[in-house]
Amino acid sequence: MRIKSFIITSLILFILGILGVSLNRTNLILLLMSVELMLLAASFLFIIASSFFDILFGQIFTIIVLTVAAAESAIGLAIIVTYFRIRGKISIKLLNTLKG
Amino acid sequence: MYILIILLPLISSLVILLLGRNFGVRGSNHFSLLCLGIANLLSCFSYYETVILKSSIHINLFNWIPLNLFDASINFHVDSISGGMILIVNMVSFLVHLYSTSYMEGDPHSCRFMGYLSLFTFFMLVLVSSQNYVQLFIGWEGVGLCSYLLINYWFGRLQANKAAIKAMLVNRVGDAALIAGVMLIWYNYGTVNFHSIFPSNQNFASTLIPIFLLIGAVGKSAQFGLHTWLPDAMEGPTPVSALIHAATMVTAGVYLIIRSSSLFEASSIALIVTGLIGAITALFAATIGLAQNDIKKIIAYSTCSQLGFMVLACGISYYSVGLFHLINHAFFKALLFLGAGSVIHAMVDEQDIRKMGSTVLSLPLSSVFILIGSLALAGTPFMTGYYSKDLLLELSTKQYYLIIVCWLGLIATLLTAFYSFKLINRTFMLYQNSPKNWWTVAHEGKFNLLFPLFVLSMGSIFFGYFFKDPILGSVIHPNLSVLVKLTPLLLSGLGVLAGLFIFLITKNLWNLFFSFNIIKPYDFLVTAWGFDKIISTFLVSPLWKFGYKTSLKLFDLGIVETIGPFGLSKRVVLLTQNLSKLQPGYLFNYAIIMILFASIFILIN
């Protein structure tokens, strides 16, 4: 297995996450999951790089990113739950009260 | 002491205009009469010294603009030219003040009136007692301003407002030319002092300068082209007309030409133009005077015509004759105006001569005074007008290159006598045409209304004979045949007869007269050759349209606003509004934009 296929896989994952964020128009949870996917793809890249170049920092970073992702998803879900309590819906289309 | 001549009218006007309400009408009348009376007396002394004894008074007051060559000092300089002017200005002004105390009796603002009259006199004295063109210009603009204030004295009347604005603006055309002339004088001769300017060589500027000065004089002296303000200036009270048209304002233009005689002599073209303009004005105004029916307008056009004679005299290089006619004219024209004012006053402010008639019975003194004024105006032998006007016409017969001037002047003489006596006939002699209650209450004015008329009629009779030698100096009377010498007199006599008999012709003759389709030339004359119409059609209304459409609509409100503040701010607001549409409130749009610009940033870097 070459490193190229690993990187391409993680990039595809990252792009899928981006597309999930930008094209998703319905569900707020889906958005949060796409962000998680992006973070995972990034940490995957870190791991690939650390094992390929034989440097430990990438794996340390991955663990930190995992904690950050966990915290982020916890806070994000908390916000969504609070939002749901107020509005009763979590559709992204209805999140347009702040206009430029 | 001589400085009081110029200061007393100023003191009088300032005190009356500032404190008139404390003095009351009687107090301010007496104060101004006292000031002007003393000034009048002093100016008689200065006349004796300067004109008869041929000395000159020079009092340097202060240096106004001390540039090294541009010596614009304010001074009181009286020589033989300005001595006569100062005499008539002060004398006519004093008599007009005296007359106004009776004429303006009962007017609520007569303190203001007296103040303006004194201020007018002051500015005229500043004009004539200057030694340089800059001080002359102060007086020049000052009399223009005071004429505005005085014509507009009854400011509640729309016609008076319009006439005053017209007077101011038409004068301003000439003033602009005068400024141009003075600037050219300074540029070419390096000085603005009358006594230091001696044009030595012929060049383009030496023709241009007198032409500019002539345009200035045309505006102020109501010559052909810029005369339209003068008949409209009759909207002011009658003493104002007497002051403006007899002694002061309109004579300033002729005085300027006489003062600048050395400049005019430098250019033959300017002299020919001056003579032609004078002669055309003399004839033009005399023809219009024939058809007018307003007693003041007839006299106003006669003023215009006589000023034409003065300019004509300057055009044929006889400046002293012009000055002499100027001074004589002041006497009989002031007499005519004040006499007309007396008639108007007695006839309950009626100015139309068609609604008068037979007033010789109720106003014998006024009719005698107007008769004296008209006889002097027509050049009756041994009265004042004879010594200047007939001499002027005799001298013009010798101008071979400008002989047309003589012909125009002779026709104008005929017409002058004609309309003067038409006025007398219609006002005083014919059947009575006014309402009966006016005619029965009509009576002569008080002493202070008649005394100025008496003094002026004495001046109209005797002044020319007694003072012809000191003013005229050594004018050589031309050697002419008796017939030519008598021509102006015969023409005047013809005019008098025509004026007296025009309303006495029989019914058959009237029918014959009207069968000639006389109405068209009469229309032409009664509308003053259609001058107002032509000017308003071809000059004023195109200029107004240009001002509204091009300067205001297209440029100020159009181009400048669009490029400038208004258009620019509108553009910026529009741009920011468009930019803020990039934030519609949808999260996915924000995400797309963020990702897009992040990827652009990565790609570029």
Q: pLDDT for B427-448, tens place per residue?
A: 888 888 888 777 777 778 788 8
B85 CB burial (10 A radius; 0-12, 13-18, 19+): buried
Dist CA B271 CA B264 (whole Å): 6
Which H, E and C letters describe B400-436, residue by residue?
HHHHHHHHHHHHHHHHHHHHHHHHHHHHHHCCCCCCH
Dist CA B307 CA B256 (whole Å): 13
Same domain for B176 and B88: no
Q: Note whether A100 contacts B587, CB cutoff 8 Å.
A: no
Residue B334: predicted pLDDT: 93
In-domain check, residue B34: yes
Beta bridge partners of B66: B71
Q: Note whether B586 contacts A24, CB cutoff 8 Å.
A: no
> Is B577 an interface residue toward A (CB < 8 Å)?
no
> Is B592 an interface residue toward A (CB < 8 Å)?
yes
Q: How many CA atoms lie within 13 A of A70 on its CB side?
A: 5
Nearest CA in chain A to B594: A22
Residues 6+ apart with CB under 8 A from B538: none
Q: What is the mean pLDDT of residues A7-34?
A: 89
Q: pLDDT for B76-85, tens place per residue?
A: 999 888 888 9
Residue B281: predicted pLDDT: 93
Same domain for B208 and B82: no
Same domain for B319 and B273: yes
Residue B517: predicted pLDDT: 75
Same domain for B46 and B9: yes
Q: pLDDT for B116-139, tens place per residue?
A: 999 999 999 999 999 889 999 999
In-domain check, residue B515: no
Around Cβ B391, how many Cβ atoms within 10 Å?
23
Q: How confident is the model at residue A67 (pLDDT cuts 50, 70, 90)?
A: very high
Residues 6+ apart with CB under 8 A from B242: B92, B96, B99, B333, B334, B337, B338, B341
Same domain for B188 and B117: no
Q: Which domain holds residue B304?
A: 132-504
Own/partner contacts of B431-437, CB < 8 Å, gap of 24 or more, are B431/B357, B431/B358, B432/B357, B432/B358, B432/B359, B433/B354, B433/B355, B433/B356, B433/B357, B433/B358, B434/B347, B434/B350, B434/B355, B434/B356, B434/B357
Q: pLDDT for B321-352, tens place per residue?
A: 999 999 999 999 999 999 999 988 888 778 88
In-domain check, residue B598: no
Q: How far is B602 from chain A (nearest CA, A)?
A: 15
Same domain for B157 and B123: no
In-domain check, residue B141: yes
In-domain check, residue B541: no
Residue that finishes a domain, picked among B131, B162, B180: B131
Prediction ipTM score: 0.82
> Is B539 an interface residue toward A (CB < 8 Å)?
no
Same domain for B412 and B329: yes
Same domain for B204 and B336: yes
Q: Note whether A31 contacts B584, CB cutoff 8 Å.
A: no
Dist CA B138 CA B144 (whole Å): 10
For A96, which of B580, B581, B586 is closest by C-beta distance?
B586
Using an 8 Å Cβ cutoff, are B317 and B274 in contact?
Answer: no
Q: How far is B582 from chain A (nearest CA, A)?
A: 7
Q: pLDDT for A24-58, tens place per residue?
A: 878 888 889 999 999 999 999 999 999 988 889 99
Between B43 and B528, residue with greater pLDDT: B43
pLDDT greater than 70 at residue A1: no
Between B474 and B250, residue with greater pLDDT: B250
Q: pLDDT for B525-553, tens place per residue?
A: 887 787 888 888 888 899 999 999 988 88
Same domain for B178 and B92: no
Tokens representing residue B157 in the block: 């009347």
pTM, 2 dp: 0.83
Q: How confident is the model at residue B375 (pLDDT cuts 50, 70, 90)?
A: very high
Same domain for B243 and B138: yes
In-domain check, residue B251: yes
> Is B581 an interface residue toward A (CB < 8 Å)?
yes
Query: Which chain A residues are Cβ-neighbours of B598 within 8 angstroms?
Result: none
Helix axes B364-378, B319-346, angle to 10 degrees: 160
Tokens representing residue B512 in the block: 């014959």
Dist CA A83 CA A28 (whole Å): 10
Which H, E and C letters describe B46-66, residue by residue?
HHHHHHHCCCCEEEEEEEEEE
Query: Which chain B residues are Cβ-neighbours of A93 within 8 angstroms?
Result: 586
Looking at mean pLDDT, say which of B118-122, B486-490, B580-584 comes out highest.
B118-122
* Chain B contact probe: residue of A11, A16, A22 with most B CBs at under 10 A: A22
Please state which CATH number belongs to domain A1-87.
Answer: 1.10.287.3510
Residue that finishes a domain, picked among B131, B165, B195: B131
In-domain check, residue B11: yes
pLDDT greater than 90 at residue B399: no
DSSP B452: H
Q: pLDDT for B297-329, tens place per residue?
A: 999 999 999 999 999 999 998 899 999 999 999
Q: Note whether B580 contacts A100, CB cutoff 8 Å.
A: yes
Nearest CA in chain A to B583: A100
Q: How far is B594 from chain A (nearest CA, A)?
A: 10
Same domain for B332 and B251: yes
Q: Note whether B588 contacts A23, CB cutoff 8 Å.
A: yes
Same domain for B290 and B390: yes
Residue B404: predicted pLDDT: 87
In-domain check, residue B208: yes
Average pLDDT, chain B: 88
Looking at mean pLDDT, say which of A82-96, B218-232, B465-479 comes out highest.
B218-232
Overall number of domains in chain B: 2
| b/e burial code for range B582-599 (CB count within 10 A of at least 16 → b) | eeeebbbebbeeeeeeee
Residues 6+ apart with CB under 8 A from B388: B321, B324, B325, B328, B329, B464
